[in-house]
Structure 1
Amino acid sequence: MLYEPTTLASLACLLSTALREEYGIDPAPIFAQAGIPLGAPDSPQQRYPLSKLRVLWDLSREASGDEAIGLKTGTYAKPAQFYAFGYSWMASSTLLGALQRLIRYYKLLSTASVQVTLTENADNYALSAVFPEASKSPPKEGIDCGMTALLALCDSIAEKEIRPLRVELTCPATVHPDAYRQALRAPITFGVEVGTFYFDKKTLLEPLQHGAPDIAKVTDRIADQYIESLDPHKVASQVRRLLIALLPSGKTDQELVSKRLNRSASTLQRQLHAEGLSYRDVLESTRRSLAEDYLRDQKHSQAQIAYLLGFSDQSNFSRAFKRWTAMSPKQFQEQPRQN
């Protein structure tokens, strides 16, 4: 059975709101034609196949006659609509911490093929997204919606309008450029290879008034468990569970893990590739998730954390953590104290 990417159902609710509020269109027949129930999801965890969301976006664009419908839809986003990720977002101590959670929990929002990274530069942070597989990537309208939803979510916890320094988009300038400039509140360069938002460092590091590290710790755990539950039988989940047990020993090579899972290294790599991952991807994400938890707990020294994660020394751990989060372990650990 081929893997079908899914999206959190609340994203479809944003579109129904936009159809009513922006265009005065009854969304019921559009949702019925797309095969998606209208109204609040039966559960905050409910998901819809990406293929149905594509149909829904196509029908909504045709009904509205607006190529920029995705940009307008994202402005209706509110954190509480996005299950555990939304509550972790609201409890973040800084916007930088919130963006780090976006990267960590993106699969809670959508399992579409997207690689999101956050890079620290001299005077800014760069949030980039790459879509490696077109067939498993969100449609253009979904990407547009995600960009304006990101700004709406930032506004909600900063309690002010957040403006990027600049934005780079992969689409050509011939696609309603004025709508993009107005919606994204920044100078835009079109036709680049990688879409990127550049944010001022001071803005992202400013303490947020309602940051709540204790609450974030709880909701982070719920988000982690939910992502794992999306398919506990996936090979990546099996590898992750085994790595958690093996990391303190430092024995995390692919050959050993493959043997423990009763398959060859080449078979394991092929199975992970079918899930859109590599062995290194799973190892890195497992280490990162555990590292953030250990640092928030503040029960272990950085040297102890390096050992628990299977690093040969603290400096290797520090370099890896800086690569994952664009922050040093010390900077990450000090974020909650700023409140």
Structure 2
Amino acid sequence: MNRHSISSDTSAHSVLVSWVSSICQTARGYGVDPLPLLDAAGLDAKLLHIPDARYPVDNMRRFWDLLIDQTGDPFFGLQVGREIQASALQGLGLAMITCASLADLMMLMVRYCKIISTTMRISFDHPPDFKGTKLVLRTDSGHEPMNSALLAVLAFIHRQACSLAQHKVVPVSVTLSLPDSGDTARLDDYFGVPVNLGCERDSISFAYEDTIEPYAGANPKLTDINATLVGDYLNRLRQMDITARVGTLIRETLEDGEPRLPDIAAKLHLTPRTLQRRLSSEGSSFNSLLDNLRYDMAHDLLMHSNLSITEIGFRLGFSDLSNFIRACHRWFGCTPQQHRENSLMIRV
């Protein structure tokens, strides 16, 4: 029987590896080797050669912390933003360099920022009496040290605006939620405007005339093609996220008894029907996820623990030992005890 293991990672959020590759390159400019830091943060360096791969957000936050410590630069994120190339964002970056205006560039970031990190949210804000556009950046489930990822994205957006316009574009304002240390000279110099620290939100605002200025390198057809590819990728990513999140919730509730679809759906703030539909679009179902997870856990516990058969059954959410035994017959073609003995014979 072909089984698909379910990630036991407690976080369903992830970061694009090609973005991390650029962060590593920036670290090398400081004379810092990023590979030992990746390892210390629990990130597999081999994935750097797989552009579509993704790293867990929690590990990435440890990586940012280590980078700031090793470089001694609290504004390391600013340097990432001023150096990272648009191609590091794959289809999103290619759509950006062919867009028609700053307004289009900002719209792409609002729609597709979760390609970079699934915790990132970018939205438009139109304050009263302000003739322009403000982008507000947020992250879910905590922040990177010194809000490094948000600072990097803000710096990247500003650099792209200047590059595509082929002249210096000065924002109307830049606000950061970083603590106000009084040391903003480097930030002010980069953005070309006094940066306000200690603010409620991280944001960048542009004047109306800058947002509508047409870009000479605009190619709407290429922008649409790449935006479509990015949209397809993001849809797949969202589907994978819901599968991983359901798997995590199932694992967390197994010892309390067999998880029920309505209870898991409620934790995700979805109706049971919506959850089933989203899982189905990924080619999965709640029952198959539950069964696959139990299969993996049963095999692991029978092979690598001294727990009794009854205890293992309870850990898998079976209230009746006979139901666990029947499941093992279906999974392994034998009883739990026989599977444990067969496994021990193979290992010897």
Question: In structure 2, what is the equivalent of residue 64 of structure 1?
Answer: 71
* 2:90 partner SS: helix
Instruction: Provide the C-alpha distance between the structure 2 equivalents of 1:211 and 1:269, rounded to a whole number of angstroms.
Output: 45
String of CA shifts for 1:211-258, please: whole Å, max 9, x gaps.
11111111111111100111426669xxxxxxxxxxxxxxxxxxxxxx
Q: In 2, are the aligned partners of 1:68 and 1:176 still within 8 Å (CA)?
A: no
Question: Which residue, 93, 102, 119 being the options, matches 1:86?
Answer: 93
Shift of 1:202: 0.8
Pairing of 1:102-113 with structure 2 (within 5 A): 102-113=109-120
Give me the TM-score of the superposition, normalised by structure 1.
0.65
| 1:42 counterpart = 2:49 | yes
Question: In structure 1, what is the equivalent of residue 184 of structure 2?
Answer: 177
Structure number with greater Rg is 2
Pairing of 1:8-157 with structure 2 (within 5 A): 8-21=16-29, 23-38=30-45, 41-119=48-126, 122-131=130-139, 133-135=140-142, 137-139=143-145, 140-157=147-164
| 1:160 counterpart = 2:167 | yes
Shift of 1:115: 4.5
String of CA shifts for 1:266-325, please: whole Å, max 9, x gaps.
985642479xxx99xx9xxxxxxxxxxxxxxxxxxxxxxxxxxxxxxxxxxxxxxxxxxx
The structure-2 alpha-carbon separation of the partners of 1:219 and 1:181, relative to structure 1 and needing over 3 Å to count, comes to same
Instruction: Provide the C-alpha distance between the structure 2 equivalents of 1:109 and 1:175, rounded to a whole number of angstroms.
Output: 30
Question: In structure 1, what is the equivalent of residue 230 of structure 2?
Answer: 223
String of CA shifts for 1:25-53, please: whole Å, max 9, x gaps.
22232223223344883333221111121
Q: Which blocks of at least 5 consecutive residues in structure 1 are unaligned? A: 237-262, 283-339
Instruction: Provide the C-alpha distance between the structure 2 equivalents of 1:232 and 1:58, rounded to a whole number of angstroms.
Output: 30
* 1:92 partner SS: coil
Q: In 2, are the aligned partners of 1:116 and 1:129 still within 8 Å (CA)?
A: yes
Amino acid at match of 1:230: L
User: Structure 1 residue runs of 4+, over 6 Å off?
Assistant: none
Q: Which blocks of at least 5 consecutive residues in structure 2 are unaligned? A: 1-7, 244-260, 279-348
| 1:5 counterpart = 2:13 | yes
Shift of 1:113: 4.8
Question: In structure 1, what is the equivalent of residue 215 of structure 2?
Answer: 208
Instruction: Provide the C-alpha distance between the structure 1 equivalents of 2:39 and 2:162, rounded to a whole number of angstroms.
Output: 33
Pairing of 1:298-309 with structure 2 (within 5 A): none
Q: Percent identity?
A: 19
Amino acid at match of 2:229: I
String of CA shifts for 1:65-102, please: whole Å, max 9, x gaps.
11111111211111111111111111211111010010
Give me the TM-score of the superposition, normalised by structure 2.
0.63
| 1:271 counterpart = 2:278 | no
The structure-2 alpha-carbon separation of the partners of 1:91 and 1:269, relative to structure 1 and needing over 3 Å to count, comes to farther
Instruction: Provide the C-alpha distance between the structure 2 equivalents of 1:65 and 1:122, rounded to a whole number of angstroms.
Output: 38
Aligned length: 247
